Amino acid sequence: MEKVLEQVAKADIALEPMIGQILVVATHIKNDTVKTVVKKQIDQDALDVAMMLKDYVVERYPYYAKKINLEQWADDIRLMNTADGVSYEQIKAIVRYLFCLYSPDSRFDWREQIRSGASLRRQYIRLYELAKKDYDNFDIKTV
């Protein structure tokens, strides 16, 4: 039992630098082995946008509902905000534009390409330019 307690203590020390990023830390003890599970903190704004995207995607592609990893989508959207500098309002506006206002041409439909947070992040600039082209006075806050 002492060996197990030492491992738990070491696990706690190793996690200290990441405290601001941790939402859940679970320690499982089985057969004198310690397994620590760490989950990242989820940004609530990113999660809201991910849920909005999920609703649109599932409405259009119901069979896709089982494949959705909402936490991963939220993390991709958080990266759009923090790493790429896109505000959550801008992301919401592009998602609304894509699924509510966008009229595809006869051969290509962008909605078929956006089925996750990662694909939204990857194609964001193209979608923004498409919205600007469709609406000369496109104001991201009014969509």
Report whether pLDDT(50) > 60.
yes
pLDDT score recorded for residue 42: 83
Average pLDDT over residues 66-79: 95
Distance in angstroms between the alpha carbons of the first and the last residue of the chain: 60
Of 50 and 18, more confident:
50
pLDDT score recorded for residue 18: 41
Apex 60 CA angle, 131 and 132, nearest 5: 0
pLDDT band at 108 (very low <50, low <70, confident <90, very high): confident
pLDDT score recorded for residue 133: 87
Asked whether 143 and 131 are in contact (CB, 8 A), the reply is yes
